[in-house]
Amino acid sequence: MAAFRVILGCLLISSATAFYSAEEAAVAANPIRKVVSMLQAMQKKISAEGEKEKELFDKFNCYCQNGDAVLAKSISEAETKAPQVSSDIEEAEAAVVQLKADLKSHQSDRAAAKAAMAEATAIRGKEAAEFAKLKAELDANLAALAKATAAIEKGMAGSFLQTNDAQVLKKLVLAENSLAEFDREELTSFLSGSESYAPQSGQITGILKEMSDTMTSSLGSATSDENSAIKSYEGLMAAKTKEVDALTASIEEKSVRLGETQVNIVEMKEDLDDTQKALLEDKKFLADLGKNCALKTKEHEENMKMRGEELLALADTIKILNDDDALELFKKTLPGASASFVQLSSNNQALQALAIVNSAKQGHGRPELNFLALALQGKKVNFAKVIKMIDNMVTTLQTEQQDDNDKKEYCNMQFDAADDKKKGLERGVSNLKKAIAKENDAIATLTDEIKALEDSIVALDKSVAEATEQRKEENAEYTELIASDAAAKELLGFAKNRLNKFYNPKLYKAAAVLADVSAHNSNKVAPPPPPATAAAFSKKSEESNGVIAMIDLLIKDLDKEMTTAKATEKDAQADYEQAMQDSAEKRALDSKTLADKQKAKADTTADMEAHTEEKGATTKTLMATHEYIASLHAECDWLLQYFEVRKEARTGEIDSLKNAKAVLSGADFSLLETGRRSLRGQA
């Protein structure tokens, strides 16, 4: 009750202040209506806040009633997902081990294929050189045989024996193992040019032709073998090249898969961590759900209770202020019609301002001017064993070097692939950040514009309500004024007529009521004669004329006031109607603009949320890629940094081992010779 009295006191003080301000502004408004309107506006605002709070509480209460099921479902899904993700990680890690083993196997097979190709190429080169040498010798021998045969047949054997071809043929005969000894002696004697020997030319020619046929056959066989060797070499090289290409392609493909799988493992581990954290949070929230809901329910009930008490106080206040006695009291405190002349004279400044505003309204269609105008009316040495050991060491070193080569190739490929992926992801994140920033700015701008429009609409509605209330009050005042003035005129006319009856009988207008009164009086019994009085009565005609003139002046002032009031009421109503029309048009336009901006904000918000989600996923992949690159650095940096040093050192070791093997191979024979000399000395 005390709170109610404070509210009522404040309202009355506000009302009184408003009243005196209105008195100073020369606006005859009823304070009780403004106070009640303020109280009613407070009731609407409190009720609206209560409805909004109830709506929010209903949603929260719905969550309280169904939240345990939602959280239980989320917990169940997380408990199912965590083991599955762990299983996926194990499978991916097993796949990484298998891919690395496959890569190692492919690299070893490729190295073996390349080694086989290099060995085959070396053998082919050696065979080709031997064939070329054999062919050159056979061609030279065949040419010499042909020339010797031709010279003998032409009887020019003597001159032939002086040529280089004869010397070539002589060496051939001495070196030819397949030649019969008799034939060799015959040819040697012939080619030596012995004067004591004169063999038959036919016999020599036959031997030469037989040698030529044998050599020709040998050359053909060697050529055939060479061609077969070339064909086999080319077939081997083609097969090995195909094998190397296939292995290289497989190495590249599995290297890519290995990189992607390792990145996926990092992402899955992060996902598992997030899922486990969310699971713990959901379990904790579920445990506190009942407590939190009970607390919010209690707060809501207390708020509703206080709001109810506040509304009751306001309702009681309105009831008190709307009481007939209160209305009558305020009515009596308002200025009367007789103050109209003073009010009219004190409105000159307001009227001048209104004229200026009305003049501005003619060049500007803003409704605000209309309201202003109305207000003026407000993110032990055994060499064999040692040599075998050397061979094994060389093989091991070569294997290690091959391993380093393979590892270097693997590291370079993975670094290139990971770096390309990282750059692509960084570009993606950068572009998404720009898009999100742009959308965020757009949302902020739209939010400000929406707020401005909403505020403008609220202000416009408030102005319309105030103007409507003001118009009602002014109309009520106008109606009351006209009624009062009409009654005053009637009363003044009655008074004037009564004076005329006495003072100016000719101007007197008999009224039916008066006539009835006269008729009623005529039936009475005449009174007895009056007693003696003073001298004869003399009419105050001059005084009565002044009174009648004053009455006429008052009636004329009332007519003028009523005429002015009618004109003012007509203008005020026209201004009000125009203001309402302009306000309705502006509100419709603002409402459409507001709806368009709200839709644009919703679309932009949806785009920003999609880009934010995409940025989050891309950022996680980028982080996983960075972690993978870091693991590659940990795995590869030392090898890449010291690769050439290790290769050079290993090559030096291999060369040293090969030199040692060569020395040991030579030392073996020298030691045997030294041992034999020692034995001879002892003998």
pLDDT of residue 230: 93
Q: Among 98-102, 177-181, 357-361, name the one with the lowest average pLDDT.
A: 357-361
Q: CATH second-level architecture of 2-335?
A: Orthogonal Bundle (1.10)
Positive or negative torsion for Cα 537, 542, 543, 547: positive
- Domain residues of the chain, as ranges? 2-335, 384-395+404-512+540-669
Tell me, yes or no, if the two domains 2-335 and 384-395+404-512+540-669 fold the same way: yes
With a pLDDT cut of 70, the percent of the chain lying above it is 68
pLDDT tier at 181, thresholds 50, 70, 90: low
Integer Cα distance of 10 and 304 in angstroms:
24
Give SS3 for 493.
helix
What is the tens place of the pLDDT at every residue in 433-478?
899 999 899 999 999 999 898 898 898 888 889 889 998 998 999 8
- In this structure, of 220-224, 249-253, 339-343, the range with the lowest mean pLDDT score is 339-343
Q: CA angle 363-366-367, nearest 5°?
A: 130
Least confident window among 231-235, 492-496, 562-566? 492-496
Residues 511-525, mean pLDDT to the nearest whole number: 41
> What pTM, to 2 d.p., does this model score?
0.43
Which of 94-103, 168-177, 391-400 is the least confident region? Answer: 168-177
Q: Look at 410 and 670; give whichever has higher pLDDT.
A: 410
Please tell me the distance from the alpha carbon of residue 229 to that of residue 211, in angstroms, as a whole number. Answer: 27
Whole-number pLDDT of residue 531? 47
Most confident stretch, 160-169, 366-375, 522-531: 160-169
268: Cβ–Cβ under 8 A, 6 or more apart, which residues? 85, 88, 89, 92
Cα dist from 86 to 80, 236, 409, whole Å: 11, 48, 31
With a pLDDT cut of 90, the percent of the chain lying above it is 15
pLDDT at 410: 86
Cα distance between residue 356 and residue 366, in whole Å = 15
User: In 216-312, where do the E strands start and end?
Assistant: none
pLDDT greater at residue 195 or residue 71: 71
For domain 384-395+404-512+540-669, which CATH number applies: 3.30.200, 2.40.33, 1.10.287, 1.10.1060?
1.10.287
Comparing 236-250, 368-382, 581-595, the range with the smallest average pLDDT is 368-382
Q: Name the band, by pLDDT with cuts 50, 70 and 90, for residue 315.
A: confident
Asked whether the predicted pLDDT for residue 235 surpasses 90, the reply is: yes
Say what the pLDDT of residue 448 is.
92
Handedness of CA 219, 223, 224, 228 (dihedral sign): positive
pLDDT exceeds cutoff 50 at 343: no
Rounded mean pLDDT, 543-568: 81
What pLDDT, on the 0 to 100 scale, is given for residue 443?
A: 92
Identity of residue 203 = Q
Residue 246 has pLDDT above 90, yes or no: yes
Report the C-alpha gap between 43 and 35 in whole angstroms: 12
State the pLDDT at residue 160.
65
CA dihedral 675, 677, 678, 682 (to 10 degrees): 140
More confident residue, 170 or 604: 604
Q: Is the pLDDT of residue 7 over 90?
A: no
| CA distance linking residue 350 with residue 373, whole number of Å | 10
Average pLDDT score over residue span 592-601:
89
Name the band, by pLDDT with cuts 50, 70 and 90, for residue 267. Answer: confident
> Which whole-number Å values give the CA distances from 142 to 135, 218, 304, 567, 634, in the listed order?
10, 11, 127, 146, 70
Q: Which two tokens stand for residue 31?
A: 């304070």
**The predicted structure's pLDDT at residue 488:** 84
Phi, psi of 375 (to 5 degrees): -70, -25
**How far is Cα 569 from Cα 563, in angstroms, rounded to an integer?**
10
- Residue 188, CA distances (Å) to 138, 170, 196, 648, 674 in order: 19, 7, 13, 59, 44
Q: Quick one: which of 222, 232, 221, 215 has its CA closest to 131? A: 222
Question: In whole numbers, what is the pLDDT of the chain averaged over residues?
Answer: 75
672 pLDDT above the threshold of 70:
no
**Residue 379 clears pLDDT 70, i.e. is over it:** no
Average pLDDT over residues 615-619: 88
- Report the length, in residues, of the chain: 683
What b/e sequence results for 255-284 when a residue is b if at least 16 CB atoms lie within 10 Å of its CB, and e otherwise? beebbbbbbbbbbbbebbeebbebbeebee
The label of the residue with tokens 């980028």 reads 622
Rounded Cα gap, residues 630 and 422, in angstroms: 12
Distances from the Cα of 602 to the Cα of 439, 443, 446, 581, angstroms? 11, 9, 10, 31
Q: Are 464 and 580 in contact (CB under 8 A)?
A: yes
How far is it, in rounded angstroms, from Cα 415 to Cα 421?
10
Report the range of poorest mean pLDDT among 27-31, 74-78, 492-496.
Answer: 27-31
Query: Which element (helix H / strand E) includes 77?
Result: helix 31-153
Look at residue 670 in the predicted model and tell me its pLDDT.
Answer: 42
The predicted structure's pLDDT at residue 358? 61
Confidence class of residue 336 from pLDDT cuts 50, 70 and 90? Answer: very low
Alpha carbon distance 639, 437 (integer Å): 43
Segment among 80-89, 160-169, 305-314, 570-579 with least mean pLDDT = 160-169
SS3 letters across 342-380: HHHHHCHHHHHHHHHHHHHHCCCCCHHHHHHHHHCCCCC
Task: Burial-class residue 537 by CB neighbours within 10 Å (0-12, 13-18, 19+).
Answer: exposed
pLDDT score for 123:
93
AA identity, residue 633: H
Whether 340 shows a pLDDT value over 60: the answer reads: no
